[in-house]
């Protein structure tokens, strides 16, 4: 599943650019496009219709993201409308390769692919350290700085890091 640009000429492109640059409120190093949350931006009768699929249901960031995309479109001179698309459900597989790279640079281990992830003997996902790449890591806490992340520690370089939980 990839985000699609459903554009009616230049204005659709501009609307997509404005909306896709909105950073995630919880992880400002990545944009809503990087995370695959922004599904499409389409010009319908002069209205920029942005379709968003929330990440974790009940994540308090959902409303903040919708408001931020709406504000970005308004600022770019569009009349925005936000549509929440619940199906198909978002998965961490929608995070773009560029988004994964940005997460790693930020010190957050990007989610392992939901399909075919490596699991250790204890049924936990093996997570690679974003700093040194070691797979010798342990989970410290189910919840990191936000509910969407878990706190891990690298046993090789001793650094704690957040892991973007896989769903």
Q: Which residues bind Zn ion (CB under 5 A)?
A: 129, 131-132, 134, 154, 156-157
Instruction: Report CA 19 to chain centroid distance, whole Å.
Output: 14
Least distance between Zn ion and beta carbon 167 (Å): 24
In the bound state with Zn ion, the residue whose beta carbon lies nearer, of 60 and 133, is 133
Considering only CA atoms, which of 108, 138, 144 is closest in space to residue 124? 138
Nearer to Zn ion, 39 or 104 (CB): 104
Q: Cβ 139 to Zn ion, closest distance in Å?
A: 14
Sheet holding 137-141, edge to edge: 108-109, 160-164, 149-154, 137-141
119 strand-pairing partners: 125
Nearer to Zn ion, 113 or 131 (CB): 131
Q: Which residues pair with 153 in a beta bridge?
A: 138, 160
Smallest distance from Zn ion to CB 163, Å: 12
Give least dist CB 130 to Zn ion, A.
8
């Amino acid at each position: 599943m990839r985000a699609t640009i459903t554009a009616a000429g230049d204005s659709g492109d501009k609307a997509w650019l404005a909306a896709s640059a909105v950073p995630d409120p919880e992880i400002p190093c990545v944009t809503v496009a990087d995370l695959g949350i922004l599904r499409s931006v389409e010009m319908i009768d002069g209205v920029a219709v942005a379709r968003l699929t929330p990440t974790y249901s009940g994540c308090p960031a959902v409303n903040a993201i919708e408001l931020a995309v709406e504000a970005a479109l308004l600022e770019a001179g569009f009349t925005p409308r936000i549509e929440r698309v619940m199906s198909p459900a978002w998965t961490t597989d929608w995070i773009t390769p560029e988004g994964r790279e940005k997460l790693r640079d930020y010190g957050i281990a990007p989610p392992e692919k939901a399909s075919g992830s490596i699991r250790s003997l204890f049924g936990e996902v093996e997570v690679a350290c974003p700093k040194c790449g070691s797979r010798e890591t342990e989970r410290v806490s189910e919840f990191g700085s936000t509910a969407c992340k878990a706190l891990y520690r690298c046993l090789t370089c001793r650094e704690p890091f957040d892991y973007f939980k896989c769903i």
